[in-house]
Amino acid sequence: MSLAKILSGTKVVAMIPAEEENEYHFIEGKVTSIHIDDYYFEEKDEPIYISVSFSPDGEIPDHIDPMDLAQVPLDRIRKA
C-alpha cells in the first residue's frame, strides 16, 4: 500500500514548532496532499524529504502562520 493511500484523508495531529525551543503547537486536521522531494536523493545521495499538507479542524491560533501547515515534515505528523 502506498503512502498516499495510507495518509490521504486521514485525521492527524501536526506538531507545529512554537517560538520557544523544543515546544510545539498540536493542530488536528485531515491530510490533503503528500509531497515527496527526492531530488537530492537522486543527485546527492541525501535522504528523501516527505511532507504533508493538511486542512485544520476549526480555527488555528493567530500566532501560527497558515503557511506552516502547507508542508509539515512527515516526522511531525501523528495519528489523531
- Tens of pLDDT, residue by residue over 32-78, are 999 888 887 877 888 888 899 989 998 888 888 888 888 999 999 99
For 3-79, CATH number? 2.30.30
Q: Give the pLDDT of residue 70.
A: 87
Using CA atoms, how far apart are residues 20 and 23, in angstroms rounded to an integer?
6
Using CA atoms, how far apart are residues 54 and 30, in angstroms rounded to an integer?
5
Closest CA to 77 of 39, 47, 40, 34: 34
- Tens of pLDDT, residue by residue over 8-45, are 888 999 999 888 888 899 999 999 999 888 887 877 88
Residue 7 CB coordination number (10 Å): 20
Q: Say what the pTM is.
A: 0.78
